[in-house]
Structure 1
């Protein structure tokens, strides 16, 4: 594929850091470097590092790895971790095309750099409607056109994507060439695209020459034995740039995400990083690597299945409480992954923002108004609820309070509703 034709002028103009370009040479055995001005590690006060797991196991971090990770390293990440993650992608997704991988300061760091890589003034970007507010906030600061594609309980709708592209006024402006999707446990809806849907969407993207940016931080939080295969796993053209995160499965404070895809695009992301944050934290990467290496791929799979089972239990309990408190006051889809419920308020409520930001908070309940997730703004009766970090008792009380708010708001609208 001609990836350069997708790149923005800004991305094409980025040049590798002359100093960072020396890093592979410095790593050679016997090389003497008079190049980069790295601080001398003898001046660092840290001597060693060990990790204590909740199981009681203690991991004594490799001394040479620790010394290396205290200093500047490759932009693409700590090499042993980079290689381990490449192996994970091979085991889990079995990519059909050659790929590169880079590590970033959380997946959002990499996603925003990737999006910026494709945006010239007026560039249309296809996104799900609704979609993740963090990426929306970034995109709304860019000189691009957001094109929302409708979703339902099974994710992005292929027919709607096909309609938008088929009816696009190409005599006035070029068709979109970038599609940003969250296929598993979508934030905010909590639903996942089926394998059949992914195949349909991929075929449409082949037809119209579209690159797929697969943002999949909840992939390992699917509530099913057999995880739905990723876009990366069905990619035969090199048109998928995938983003994973360790935040939901190891620690959000580690700030580690990774991008997988065509090496040309990975290189462009790295060139961007060379002029901004240089590299992800060495110590965070080392803490992740030592654990992952100890677990191996089977141990990692066992861990993520425990994590997904934890959130599945939380989701089931939360849906039970929704049925108890919110039936008749709201409608919702049952999440199949992740940690969110996308809920439509009833009772004549057309704008959830005032209800949530003023009246719900007055009763000490916090949720996110649906407006934050709409690509092109506007009023909506929807609200996003998260069940990930509240106890059963807290969720019970929060939904009881929220039901009162909705009932009161419905009464103001002249609508009488009862909890069934």
Structure 2
């Protein structure tokens, strides 16, 4: 691992020597403090006692459930290949055939969940009689059992008494966290570009939302420290909550590594912040983009060789290459981590989980008892049966295949940008302030129109005082190291109307270009929808678009970027 991933010895200590979480009860809002356990649900824990004859619950008889079994044909855990071709093999019948069917070495299995398990007294048995019944808000015991093993193996929390709680996906999890912690009028810290879906959870509390400056590795610790140290109460209450997407950040694609996470955690501890770590893209971390004509670094080649190996050694290499989670540095229980199966299984399962301190997990359980209760029994029974069929090692092998699949899709999109534009990558120590970049994460790229010196395009740029034979920069970006997004910075300051449109010129030009691209059947997400607040600063002339590469084909990526280049060049000419 590189230095950014390295951990201090304190975070590699055996579990027996780890501290317990601090008492952070003062962070709970008044409503959460008053919540009590569901008295009827408390009785459910006795229903599984062998020989117990229960007349206590007003529940329907499983004998009358119309589902005798629940079955599914599943993919083998090694179905997705680990080493994908940069360009799809043309002789395949489908562009995606090579991607979703060439890696498996085993037959396609099926799973069945019976109404009654062979050993119904086994507390970890999965059966429809209990999965489709009223149950504890914590869900079927087999699921948290698997998740605890996964968290301990992959995340390695820095304190001893953490626990997990199932939820209906990360959106539901974050909504419950806000219900637990926020009071009306509170201040919440988010990244300066943030996932707008999360705002639906905290805006109803009439929150003051403050964005923290970012670069290509996410939140900048020095800016966070300065913001808190110089906090002016006139701008709102002192914040208690920091919401962040550290890996493959939505929308910027930025990924925070270990050294910076430790710095941010130290600041959070100093100023008593709770960190909500929302990580839907965590296992899609793939490392730096390598141009097609470049050789891999020795470290990258070593990791690539390990990834080609099947079995546990490859799984361990995969885990070790992941950025350490905030949980790894958490010795006080102030991190609330949100995970989801949306990106690793399917969004429609509406399944995820929260990892945090016993205080927060217990209070979140009380919230679940009065709202969502346990997630759907259909989703939980099928998903845990799938996971138990694969086993922990099989699930991690599945995640490695997903990582490879999304890595090659990223390469398709960035390769298309390199083919359509003239790209110049930043050298170490050279920083373009319009690009989210940082040394060691991946060099920022600046895109110019492909043109010859002396052409009409070059002459147009020369009249505007541009000395480069490639003209004025059109687009800047950092190839992402994880996730599903490329964050494009478009240089609108060269548009002929930029100086006449007033203080909102960049947003207006972003909106116009977005609509023009849609008219040409290319849909980007305009950057202004990811701005966390309406505060206006100086208009730099740089607007943003989020490009998702998660579902487009190789041919679609090339076609879309070619259309984008043609429309953009004409647009910046005022046409």
TM-score range, shorter chain: over 0.9
Per-residue deviation, 1:406? 2.0
Counterparts in 2 of 1:381 and 1:171: CA distance versus 1, 3 Å: closer
Match of 2:254 among 167, 187, 191: 191
Instruction: Note the C-alpha offset of 1:310.
Output: 0.8
Q: 1:4 aligns with which of 7, 21, 25?
A: 25
Give the Cα–Cα distance (whole angstroms) in 2 for the partners of residues 243 and 126 of structure 1.
Answer: 17
Q: Are 2:569 and 1:407 equivalent residues in the alignment?
A: yes
**1:115-151 superposed Cα distances (whole Å, 9 cap, x missing partner):** 2211112211111111111102332233211111011
Return the offset for 1:7: 1.3
* Aligned-residue offset at 1:339: 0.6
- The one of 339, 343, 349 equivalent to 1:244 is 339
**Could you tell me how far apart the structure 2 residues matched to 1:356 and 1:276 are?**
43
Residues 404, 35 of structure 1: alpha-carbon distance in 2 compared, 3 angstrom cutoff: farther
Aligned to 2:104: none
Separation in structure 2 between the aligned mates of residue 14 and residue 210 of structure 1, nearest angstrom: 23
Which one of 248, 252, 261 corresponds to residue 356 of structure 2? 261
Check conservation: 1:347, 1:406, Cα contact below 8 A: no
User: Is 1:58 paired with 2:110?
Assistant: yes
Deviation, structure 1 residue 401: 2.1
* CA offsets 1:159-189 (integer angstroms, 9 cap, x no match): 1100100001258864212111111111111
Q: Over residues 38-91 of structure 1, what are the superposed CA-to-partner deviations in whole Å (9 max), with x where a residue is unaligned?
A: 222222211112221234112233542232212122211211011100111011
Query: Where do residues 198-347 of structure 1 align in structure 2 (5 Å cutoff)?
Result: 198-224=261-287, 225=318, 226-326=321-421, 327-328=447-448, 329-347=474-492
Evaluate the alpha carbon distance shift between residue 400 and residue 70 of structure 1 in structure 2; reply closer, same or farther with a 3 A threshold. Answer: same
Tell me which moved more, 244-253 or 29-38: 29-38
Task: Check if 1:69 corresponds to 2:90.
Answer: no
- Per-residue displacement from partner, 1:222-258 (whole Å, max 9, x unpaired)? 0044111101111111111111111111122211100
Q: Pick one of 122, 146, 149 that aligns with 2:209.
A: 146
> Where in structure 2 are there 5+ consecutive unaligned residues?
1-21, 77-107, 118-126, 288-317, 422-446, 449-473, 496-505, 537-541
Tell me, in whole angstroms, the C-alpha distance in 1 between the residues paired with 2:198 and 2:162.
24
CA RMSD of aligned residues (A): 2.0
1:412 aligned counterpart, secondary structure:
coil
Q: Which residue number corresponds to residue 103 of structure 1?
A: 166
Q: Which has the larger radius of gyration?
A: 2
Displacement of 1:8? 1.7
Contact 2:514 2:526 in 1 (8 A): yes
Helix, strand or coil at the partner of 1:161 = helix
| 1:340–1:378 Cα change, 3 Å | farther
The answer for unaligned runs of 5 or more in structure 1 is: 414-420
1:375 matched residue in structure 2: 532
Cα distance in structure 2, aligned partners of 1:175 and 1:402: 43
